Structure 1
Amino acid sequence: MSELGYGYGYGYGYGYGYGYGYGYGYGQNRGGGGLDNGPKSAALISARDGVVGPWSQASSSTPTQYPDGNPSNVFNWSPRVRAEVFRNILLAPIDVVQSNDSWTSLWVRHAIAPPALVTDPIVVPASAQLLQMQRPSTTLFKEQLEWVNYWSSLRPERMNEILVETEDILAPMASVIDVDPTRMPYTFELLGAFHQTVVSVEMRFKNAMACRRPVRYSAQIQPMIQTPGHSTYPSGHATESFAFAYLLATLANYREQAGPGTPHSAMTEQQIAEQAYRITQNRVVAGVHFPVDNSAGSQLGLTLAENIVHRFRVAAGETPNTPPPEEPVVVSFTDADNYDFDYTKYWPEVIPGLCSAAPPCPPQGVDRNPDAILAELWKRATAEWTR
């Protein structure tokens, strides 16, 4: 897992290594205007005493309330509060189920609306299994030590990248397509909510798999960075990098399809995928992951990203609410699968883009409040890519 700083210390942490620290001072306000320190509070007390005068009930007014249930209401709050709302909505239908054996699965569970409210022409099942993951044997992990040792020769060359990526994986990926938090604030809110959702799910899988890191198999690995204090399998950097890659490639498609003069999305998509691969492989170079960790993490990240992006697009009325695949992605490796990581085996053939219909695709189903909030965030973020 990479520590992207999102939300930590109430700073909203949208810096992602850029140094902007999106919010410019949100880090101290906790919703109170950035004035929660002794000298400023004392100044406000004395200022009020000097200017307010005697209390007058007649001078009070009744403000107009925001419309009840309006999805745009969330954008009247601070980014820190919005982040919690977005993350809660995104995580609500996602479930991770651990079996009694070595398998753990990813499910999405849909709310069942009363028949009178169901207008979708497609019937979506109440629950769908998206992915199954099996814990590899210690035999395979031990065999993969040879790959970890092989890649360690690149440590001097990759050191700066590895150290940056320990805390920040979005900055090197975002540099491919010019994502700027000062010009694209809603995109960064989307990326932040998306990232926290992915991390929450990946940690559930790490806890279920409970696999030891390479250095526990051999002291000769001697990692070049501190070994993280959680399971090696699946790789968090792989999960997050490839989830980000899918989302950013989707947004790149929106930018290209909005008009001429933008980089060709196929080339951009390939470069984003290659950057995700490099970030992921650097964890093996550093000595804290096995290649098989990356194979599992990339599949988890892409599966999650595809589902989350689909939910956003359905909520925004850009695509029909089609059922998920009938068969889940199966992540399983035998003792004979002692291979290096190859992301091209898992990268999807098609990345979504702008709806090709004119006028835009009709909304699917009822505008229920949680979905409407997702739709509002998606529309505001994607608008930043089409101007």
Structure 2
Amino acid sequence: MYKLWASIKKDGRILLRDKVGLALMFLMPIILAIIIASVQNSTFELVNDKKVPLLVMSRDTGEAARELIASLEKGGMFTLKKLPAAATEADIKKKMEDKEALLAIVIPPQYTQDVLAKAERVSGEALKTIAIADSTAADSTKIKASPLTLYYHPVLQKSFRQGIDGALSSVLQIVQSKYIVRALYSSINNEPNIPQSLEQQILSNETPVNQQAVSRDNSLPVPNATQHNIPAWTLFAMFFIVISLGSSLVREKTSGSFLRLKTMPTSLSVSIMSKQITYIIITMLQAAVIFSIGRWLFPVIGLPALNIPADKGGLLLVTFLCGWCATSFAICIGTFANTQEQSNGVGAISIVLFAAIGGLLVPAFAMPASFQGVMRVSPLYWCLEAFYGLFLEGGRLGDISKNLVPVLIIIAVLQLATWLGMKRKGLA
């Protein structure tokens, strides 16, 4: 036990001298977590809370155009900035280039006329079908409506533009439906105006939507950049100990430390065990620091606070296993690398690749079908799924056991590979 403790103290002193390694292990993930969480939080707020600025230029003074603008305002998704009808396309582009708005819509002068014409045609066809009107009541010729023009800034992603298109289509459909209902009512009752209450009953949605959470604890989580990013970048920090631990292992191999150990009344296993204990403690400290920053610092800088899972014991075990997996990976890299350059290069590149295919850089659900099998090779995928099971789904240890089993298997494989590598090089 004394030999193990002495070896742990030795590894601790070596680690404290490695200022670059400490910066990579603590400062880099903290900076990444703050920057990326801030960027993604703006996206979440844009989708969930904020209204999208929309430039509106109406070349139509008719009632349908006014109702369209009113419906856009009532929809709650847009903040309208009206432009004079005399504004030109160049004026719109100039305002969008100045980032006054990322979207602009131009209502053509024939919009009201087209809406009324379609309402008359549809109501006439409906009445003809039920034999209320005579055969001359409807003209079946399809009316070619003048299109609205939607300008968008190139920075808007396609998925966001599709959401905007869906919202605009809904508003256009509502306005058109109003005029169809009015035309039908007028034809059937020979009255020019439909009662407002009746129109609302016809057009309003009476079907309720009950939202049911699929989280383990039956809470209704709101998309939160902090809950997504803190676990992800904590894992990234854990696995980046490969830079420090891998280099340390290579230095001891090239300096002959392992060979000298064979002449002393101790064993290599004590040295390897001490490194694992030392760096597992480091990974636990990394998690504690980054979780604390997410919990207490993020609200100070305007970001959502990190919600710590209810199952604290499960969180502790998952953090320990993820740290052990990261340490095993770093020792395996250091065992097979012949130089510090090899250890640093292969270690850093492999971690970035594992992060890319494991769901840290690109969400797992967004991966193409061909990558669904490949990403399961990444240890970061299983570690991240375990963390997300606690942080996002509100699960407990039993709920994420299916993700921890692959982590344990990966640890065993890495430990075996390390032992075989040491034996092949005559160090074991």
Structure of higher CA gyration radius: 2
State the TM-score, normalizing by the size of structure 2.
0.27
State the TM-score, normalizing by the size of structure 1.
0.29
More helix by share: 2
